[in-house]
Amino acid sequence: MFHNITFNYQSILDYFDNRITNDSAESFNAKIKAFRCKLREVRNVDFCLIRLNTLFA
């Protein structure tokens, strides 16, 4: 537990000083994971990346 606090010290301080969080990045990662689950058998990876960019960018 103490190691996590030491490792994330700067981001913890950023939250209390500026109310900055990484919620948007976590939400985006969840959307990408959901998108990948829906398209397990993708044959055209380039199209998949273009579609991902179009939907979430």
Distances in Å between the alpha carbon of 23 and those of 6, 37, 45, 51, 56?
21, 21, 28, 23, 15
pLDDT for 2 equals 60
User: Residue 9, exposed/middle/buried by CB under 10 A (0-12, 13-18, 19+)?
Assistant: exposed
What does the domain layout of the chain look like in residue ranges?
Answer: 21-57
Cα separation, 54 vs 57, in Å, equals: 6
**pLDDT tens digits, residue range 4-56?**
777 788 877 887 888 777 788 888 888 888 877 777 777 787 887 788 788 77
pLDDT for 3 equals 67
**Inter-residue contact 11 to 23 (CB < 8 Å):** no
Question: Would the pTM count as exceeding 0.75?
Answer: no
pLDDT for 28 equals 83
